[in-house]
Amino acid sequence: MAGGSKSRRRGAAPAASGAAGPPADPAQAQAGGRPRARWGSRLWKLSLALLAAVGTAVLFERVWSRPDPGLVSSDQAGLNKDLADPPIRPITVLLIGTDADRLDASTNSAAPRGPANADTLLLIRADPDGAMRVLNVPTELAVQVPGQQKLQTLGALYRLGGPALTADGVGELVGLDPGQPERYVVMPRQVLRTLVDGLGGLEVNLDQAIRYQDKTQNYRIELQGGLQVLKGPQVEQLVRFKGSDDGLSGRRSRQQKVIGGLLEQLGRPGGTAKLAQQVRQLQPLVGTNLTETEILSLLNVAIQQAHTVRYDKLPLAPTTEPGQTLRQVAPGAEQPLWPAG
């Protein structure tokens, strides 16, 4: 992955804990005969300069019109009365789902134990005049991080440098313009459970029962097949489950099912009545450079476009050996991998 020389701008982010030192030579990016992902000076500059708190870079009025309840027509009142006006132009947000239970957790909730990693990366493109797009970025993609000798997974960037390094790595990989994504949301597992329970559960239709037990994590999944309403902990089980037959690809498909179900449920009569209250309750549990008004604005777009959301995926190279955990983008994949238009 070729690097550039343009720097990215982003909102507040914690300082990196392991991304210091001189940049690795991209020419040395080789492992078992497979090419490594490459980052140039843009990511290196980020690891030195942008991992400290720098404030919000994009002015509010350039992205969002100021909310005006008088602009909501009577036929839209049931949908929009609790939400803010949509943004006046498209905006891209990176949602980082971590494997820690809380934002301030000292260790993750996975195995082996250690600092939190990103186990879900969603690029969300909200366009008030077009279809909403969601790209579930594989966290198992291999990347070379400056100052790190070994290849890292894309999901490990959160542990190494927080949301700023993660956002820059994702943007570099898929070919976003400098400064994109403009916003991020860090969502630990507790948030999903709280959101689902606050909405009264999530209705899903599972084509088969899911049963799994991991003794190393003292974790068990027990879900029945068929149409049912799942509580927060059960929805967490659904999005975390990685089957032996479909692996991480299947997990991403189930995450997509949950996203669609949540948007559909929120769009039902009375669905948004709880939403503003839920956003206020959840804000202390997430890390984000979005304001409450901006969140409600983006949710407005998402709910209105719930049935036309476009789900994209990256082309991955096939695995070359049994048990391979690091993946690469398919050779010859056309850049940008995720067009903004």
- The pLDDT tens digits for 62-78 are 566 544 333 333 334 33
- Inform me whether the pLDDT recorded for 47 exceeds 70: no
- Three-state secondary structure call for residue 30: strand
Q: Is the pLDDT of residue 309 over 80?
A: yes
pLDDT (0 to 100) of residue 74: 35
Q: Amino acid identity of 152?
A: Q
pLDDT, one tens digit per residue, over 220-239 is 899 999 999 999 999 999 99
Average the pLDDT over each of 31-40, 145-154, 332-341 and give the range with the smallest value.
31-40
Bridge partners (DSSP) of residue 220 are 213
pLDDT in tens, 169-201: 999 999 999 989 999 999 999 999 999 998 899
Residue ranges and CATH numbers for the domains of the chain are: 26-312 (3.40.630.190)
Where in the chain does DSSP place strands (E)? 30-31, 34-35, 91-98, 118-126, 133-136, 142-143, 152-153, 183-187, 202-206, 210-214, 219-223, 226-230, 287-288, 310-312
Confidence check: pLDDT of 7 > 70: no
Residue percentage of the chain with pLDDT more than 70: 75
- For residue 14, the model assigns a pLDDT of 34
Residues 6+ apart with CB under 8 A from 339: none
pTM: 0.77
Nearest Cα to Cα of residue 29 among 140, 170, 148: 148
Q: What is the mean pLDDT of the chain?
A: 77
Lowest pLDDT segment from 15-19, 220-224, 261-265: 15-19
pLDDT at 60: 42
